[in-house]
Structure 1
Amino acid sequence: MMLKKLLTGLLVFSACALATPISEHGQLSLKGFDVVDKNGQPYVLRGMSFFWDDWGFEKFFTEGAVKTIANDWGGNVVRTPIHDLNESRAKAMIDYAASAGIYIIVDYHSHCAHKNASSAQSFFGNIASYVKQKNYVHVLYELYNEPLYENCSSASDTYAGGSLTSWNTIKQYAESVIPKIRANDPNGIIIVGTPNYSQGTEAARANPITGQKNIAYTLHFYASTSGHGSLRWNVLRAKCNDFPVIITEWGVSESSGDGNFTKSMNDTWMSWIETIGVSWANWSISDKGETSAALTGGASSNGGWSDGNLTASGKYVKNLMKNLNAGKGLSSVGLSPANVDCAQLEGGGEYEFVRNGVGNFGYAIQGENYMDSSNAKTVETDAKGVQNEMYLTSQNSGSEAWAEYTLMDIPAAGYYVFYAKVGANSDGYLRYSVDEGATVDSVKYTSTGGLTTIKGFYNKIALPTEGTSNIRVSWKGDVALDVFSVVVADSADSVDLGIKAGEKIVSIGSAKTAMSDQFRFDSRNSTFMIPAGYERLSLFTVKGRKVYSVDVQGKANVELDRSVKKGVYMAVLSGAKGQKSLQFKVTE
């Protein structure tokens, strides 16, 4: 009897020891926003992405490395980037993950996949066939790593410049690949990249792929880049609208993959996404010698890494995976729950205009994002004082250099603000023009004593149309341009911008004269002069939240409601004559 009990206990112990994420949770699927397991229960994937499978870092694509992530780090997923659609490499990694009992994301690691659709169809079709043949349930398919430019080259996968890849292009590409997967794997989760380095989940949410199940969308971020912080709202909007998002790549570093590792910014991000319950893979398993790499130089390609083989990034992410995947709470990794109440999206707090990823409006434009340029080069530096690793500099101190960008999602025609950070050896002017001269202006900068000392400044800029504009920034001399950002004016910046009470900041374009004469605001106690043809006046905070709306049809004057607090706002008139906007400051 005692022997029987002992054997039963050993059998139970053996079963527990052999339990893996795959054996416990089986085929994953999507239920609204959530990834759910075979029992329909929410299941969060937390794991590691390998590096590009070239440059020598494919040395880590080994069974030992995968098992170390699964067993020592507690990861339940790995992501395998396949840049050249190497089927044998992808299948080997799929087998390694199966052996380790964890899930795997097979990623076409391209910035130009839409120009190689036929090869992608063949690749993913064959991978799905292999999954069927092996009776696997642990494979997720990532169709497009980070879409970038519409006119990129499929041959060299280069950053060719031009317009950013539109969501319509990405969607059409995905819709051509999905049937090839579904022919053999009707249930596997398929993950679709989104515009602008896979930051454009809002563009996808506005026009999702239909007629298919288990389709998720990609969000990428780098936690130590301040400009990526607003992407947290994209995650919350997705959650609150049952729109499935998976973070297939994030780094502790700045967006270059290098630069600072700001722990407080990472903690803020992780508290947010863990409170919401988003699946993620961290970048990256490599010893590249950059901030986001998890391993130090010389780490074994076969895994078995000690803490001495881990970078600060590796230690931080291993701690997250090991504890959170073991079912421990946020406090076990030094985090606290974030406020992710959906009511925040209904006016309970201010947030930035939605970043849909089709362009760069409202966010910092880095050196690597310019659309076109002349006599300028992108420089990477580790010099102290440069916030972002990539910046533009003039190739020749005696001639002009320029870089052009596309701004999209402009809420309305009107005055906005640009913020620039430059380093220069002498005084000079940063000049800018919008839509080939519709707006031309300049701002003076003073010498910073060298290119590695970065100084920031603000200026007003007129954008002539709602929607899309092209902006050209030019400079002369030995100048480094680190950030050029066009933003909605913030009331905290009003003094720097020179926005004064009584100043007529009006819409530009054909209606400029009429509007400046008839639509003005001087102070809280003054009135709006409403021109004929408009029916409604709406006020928005500078971060996009509507705070006031009133019927103005047939009225000559409208007094501003006392509930509107002082600060800088955007006013929008709408009606039969269309929509007009102005920006103004409430001073009392």
Structure 2
Amino acid sequence: MHRRAVLTSAGVALAALVTGWAALAVPTANAETEAGPPAVTAPTPTTATGPPATTDRPTPAADATEGPAGSPVAVHGRLRVCGVHLCDQAGEPVQLRGMSSHGLQFFPNCLNPDSLAALRTDWRADFVRVAMYVQEGGFETDPAGFTRRVDEAVVTASALGLYVVVDFHLLTPGDPNLNLDRAKSFFAEVAARHAARTNVLWEIANEPNGVGWAAIKSYAEQVIPVIRAADPDSVVLVGTRGFSSLGVSEGADETEVTDDPVDATNIMYTFHFYAASHRDLQRATVARAARSLPLFVSEFGTQTFTGDGPNDLDSATTWLDLLKSLKIGYAMWSYSDGPESNSVFRRGTCAGTDFTGTAVLTESGAFIRSRIRS
């Protein structure tokens, strides 16, 4: 929730899309509302041809939005906000459960066809959050390269029928307006490229901090129209004050949002927690806010807010039971193999091709895989 320790390990470039995958048996969708149709084999992801382009970035195929039969996207279709819930194409509330990547610059080889296939078929997750840091060696250093990495992850996940949260991972500086021009440029390009897809959600500001709600709201009301110009129907996730704590971490609460909501439709507000640090106060805030605000937990951890230290699985279980009762979707941080306890994979896993089962998992990884599969 607060700043995670910056990783300094160098990584190789994110794997490009791989064609000719082995056939993948795709189980039915695992969101909390349904049992999907029979499982089928996932298609090999492809990149559609389109108008001449100046880069080799992938573009969405016209039929790439449905996903394999039985996958989350095939079962639920395009999502939308209805009241305080995220709802599927039939108007039924749905709780999405999934994982967040770590920063693409820190663990560039942890999001690849094999790992995402495992997330879908072995973990039975509904979505992946693609965390693209803006600073700390991220987007600002190579806009074209990081945009391409996001595109590749979206295309790969889409071929599996996973939903994708594209996370513009603002953290330091905490005022999103300092990256307003970058946000407009990024979302204009990527939203246009993936506008035909029904499975992409846009998270416009990861964890605003040290700045008031009025400034965050102003940022949102300038960025959302950029997305809507290309993609009028997708859900947008808006970060909240105090590291997306609805202001709690900076002495406020949800009333600043309920009293002055963002002037936009089909949006949800994000809440982040780390179970060893955030307990009764934060859970009470979420339970209260969920009566009037559509909430989405786009990031949580089982440790302290540093993203490291002992896992508090009892507190994490209490949190996830609450989110289940409220039908609030969540993603755990992080789908990586780093040294911190927030990493779900053991060190070195992302250098290989085997991401299935429990032998490759840390304590937090085994916990969340079991929870998502249940």
TM-score normalised per structure 1: 0.48
Superposed, which structure 2 residues align to 1:2-401 within 5 Å?
18-55=69-106, 57-83=107-133, 84-85=138-139, 86-111=146-171, 112=173, 113-132=176-195, 135-148=196-209, 164-200=210-246, 202=254, 203-210=256-263, 212-225=264-277, 227-241=278-292, 243-301=293-351, 302-323=353-374
Matched position secondary structure for 2:331: strand
Matched position secondary structure for 1:274: helix
1:224 maps to amino acid: A
Matched position secondary structure for 1:35: strand
The superposition leaves residues 262-293 of structure 1 with CA deviations (integer Å, 9 ceiling, x where unpaired) of 22211211111111111000000111121111
The superposition leaves residues 213-255 of structure 1 with CA deviations (integer Å, 9 ceiling, x where unpaired) of 1111110000111x443111222122222x1110000001111
Name the % identity.
Answer: 30
Distance 1:119 1:264, change over 3 A: same
Number of aligned residues? 291
Q: Which has the larger radius of gyration?
A: 1
Matched position secondary structure for 1:106: strand
Matched position secondary structure for 2:350: coil
2:87 maps to amino acid: V
Distance 1:178 1:29, change over 3 A: same
Q: Which has the higher contact order (CA 8 A, sep 6+)?
A: 2
Kept after mapping to 2: 8 A contact 1:294/1:310: yes
* Range 13-22 or range 192-201, more displaced: 13-22
Matched position secondary structure for 2:305: coil
Kept after mapping to 2: 8 A contact 1:198/1:220: yes
CA distance in 1, matches of 2:39, 2:240: 44
The CA deviation at 1:15 is: 6.0
The CA deviation at 1:206 is: 2.6
Matched position secondary structure for 1:101: coil
Q: Which has the higher strand share?
A: 1
Kept after mapping to 2: 8 A contact 1:62/1:93: yes
The gaps in structure 1 that reach 5 residues or longer are 1-11, 149-163, 324-588
Matched position secondary structure for 2:177: helix
Matched position secondary structure for 2:372: helix
Q: Which runs of 4+ in 1 moved over 4 A?
A: 12-17
Matched position secondary structure for 2:349: coil
Distance 1:303 1:238, change over 3 A: farther
Matched position secondary structure for 1:320: helix
CA distance in 2, matches of 1:14, 1:295: 27
CA distance in 2, matches of 1:254, 1:320: 20
Question: What residue is the counterpart of 1:156 in the other structure?
Answer: none
Kept after mapping to 1: 8 A contact 2:337/2:350: no
CA distance in 2, matches of 1:47, 1:13: 21
Kept after mapping to 1: 8 A contact 2:98/2:126: yes
The superposition leaves residues 117-150 of structure 1 with CA deviations (integer Å, 9 ceiling, x where unpaired) of 0110110111110112xx21000000001112xx
2:237 maps to amino acid: I
CA distance in 1, matches of 2:340, 2:300: 14
1:19 maps to amino acid: G
CA distance in 2, matches of 1:79, 1:303: 20
- Aligned-residue RMSD, C-alpha: 1.7
Matched position secondary structure for 2:205: coil
Kept after mapping to 2: 8 A contact 1:247/1:278: yes
The CA deviation at 1:306 is: 3.2
